[in-house]
Amino acid sequence: MDITKQKQNSNPTLLKLADYEDPILRQMTEPVSFPLSKEDKQIIESMKYSIQKDQLKKVNAPWDDAAGMAANQWKINKSIFIYCPNGTSENEIEVIINPSYEPLNDPSLETLTKDATWEGCFSVPLATGNVQRFTHIRVKYQNEAGETIVKELSGWPARVWQHENDHLYGLLYNDPKAGKCTEFHQFPTKEAVEAFYLQLREERKKEYESSGVSESE
């Protein structure tokens, strides 16, 4: 575990991100035992702290904000990830421990469905991939109190969950053995990545306008 201490005996501490080539990103993480040890509690508090925007800037993270982050992205071999259901660490965040999920049928189609959307990742800097994921899933995990939680997710929250859960199994979204990334782009600069996403948003807006449906519908 690579931790940069803000000040001696401070709590929490600032975590540094693993490089793309770090083998920990391609290894399955170890399950967490309950009740949580003092070390695990410290790790969780440091993860909550390190995912905040200001702290991501301090470690020169490739993205300004995070919808989630897995422990091994910070060189920590634990089955824990931070999950931001609203898509940003500035709002609600949840601590997910020993997670798993199973795909569910689309309620309207009564069959398993997938969709493809462009994803970025802190562990794959200056890149994006068009990734296929299940649209509806049932998740199971433990919270910090050790309680088992089961719930259903769909759409964007389901995508974020699957992305972070893959990390704990040693899979990056562009990993060929995962078989989920259908198109991959590498960029020379952060500004080029942002321009790509801006172009995608403009194209999507034009599609909605031509169909007569607003993006909010």
Cα–Cα distance measured from residue 100 to residue 121, given in angstroms and rounded to the nearest whole number: 20
Alpha carbon 24 to its chain's center: 16
Sequence-ordered list of residues with C-beta below 8 angstroms from that of 109, at least 6 positions apart, any chain: none
110 part of the active site: no
**DSSP-derived secondary structure letter, 30:** P
Choice among 102, 144, 147, 164 that is catalytic: 164
Cα–Cα nearest to 163, from 64, 70, 78, 76: 70
Token pair of 189 as six digits: 């600069």
Q: Which residues are catalytic?
A: 164
